[in-house]
Amino acid sequence: MRAVTDEKAIVPKIQIQAVSKSYPGDKNPVLALRTVDLSINEGEFVSIVGPSGCGKSTLLYVLGGFLEADGKVLVDGKAIQGPGTDRGVVFQEYALFPWLTVRNNILYGLERGALAPEERARIADRLIGVIGLKGFEDRYPRELSGGMKQRVAIARTLACDPAILLLDEPFGALDAQTREVMQDELLRIWLETRKTVLMITHDVNEAVYLSNRICVMSARPGQIVEEFKIDLDRTIPRERLFTSDAFNKTRNEVWISVRQQALAAEKLNARV
């Protein structure tokens, strides 16, 4: 019995092994990812940072099961077969159903599940409150700002309660204040549920604030070139954490690493 438990504990939730991906280009194929390896344990919150165009979204699409690639992608030790309800995705370009209202976008995934209608309505109401869109329940996406749409996309993914959250710059379109609210909500959800999270962000502060581990990706073709383990006390309020020496030291280390990759990407682009 014990052996089974131990064995389960050592299988990472996500294993990305030697994943490479190229897209057809005008003349030559564009190599977006080159032999990327990444293992994420159950309950870990991992962020990926790296220069624009280095292949971060590509990696997330491959893990989401939307794009085929060379190499292996395993979830719970098994090769993925396309998208699955175990992986909830928030896309960089928030994909809402234009013909559904805010409430019905959030309810969409739940309607295929086994929950009673009252329970689904309760979840939708709670999330509408969390994303600050009370009063907008019956609006359509075309009536919302970019930031509002992104909040609905996040709520829709959270509503289905997937074991793994794959987030592609989920707060990129939000104003600073809403961004903080949503970061704190994500942190609260993660502390409560210990979901496995892979988040892409350009915001080093956000990555340090939320993650257990930060992976820095190189300029294209993307590879993970450096990892930082983050060991901050998550119960400290953000104001105190952000001004602490430990936070600033980590933030600077990550920032320098990201900057190096961004400079390498600029050089690469200058040559093209």
Ligand X SMILES: Nc1ncnc2c1ncn2[C@@H]1O[C@H](COP(=O)(O)OP(=O)(O)OP(=O)(O)O)[C@@H](O)[C@H]1O
Q: In this complex, which beta carbon is closest to Mg ion, that of residue 92 or of residue 260? A: 92
Among 32, 123, 131, 215, binds ligand X (CB under 6 A): 32
* Contact track, Mg ion, 90-129, x by CB under 5 A: --x-------------------------------------
- Other beta carbons within 10 angstroms of residue 138's beta carbon come to 10
The kind and range of the H/E element at 175 are none
Residue 170, preceding peptide bond in cis (omega within 30° of 0)? no
Q: How far is the CB of 169 from ligand X (least distance, A)?
A: 7
Q: In this complex, which beta carbon is closest to Mg ion, that of residue 20 or of residue 250? A: 20
- Other beta carbons within 10 angstroms of residue 62's beta carbon come to 24
Q: How far is the CB of 198 from Mg ion (least distance, A)?
A: 13
Six-digit token string for 46: 């991992």
Stretch that binds ligand X, among 51-59, 130-138, 205-213, 262-270 (CB under 6 A): 51-59
Using rule CB under 6 A, residue 23 touches ligand X: yes
Stretch that binds ligand X, among 9-17, 53-61, 102-110, 246-254 (CB under 6 A): 53-61
d(CA 10, CA 16): 15
Among 15, 57, 150, 212, binds Mg ion (CB under 5 A): 57
- DSSP-derived 3-state class of residue 34: strand
Say if CB 127 and CB 204 are below 8 A apart.
no
Using rule CB under 5 A, residue 201 touches Mg ion: no
Q: Which does 12 bind (CB under 5 to 8 A by kind): Mg ion, ligand X, none?
A: none
d(CA 36, CA 182): 30
- Rounded to 5 degrees, φ, ψ at 119 are -65, -40
Residue 162, preceding peptide bond in cis (omega within 30° of 0)? no
Stretch that binds ligand X, among 2-10, 52-60, 83-91, 139-147 (CB under 6 A): 52-60
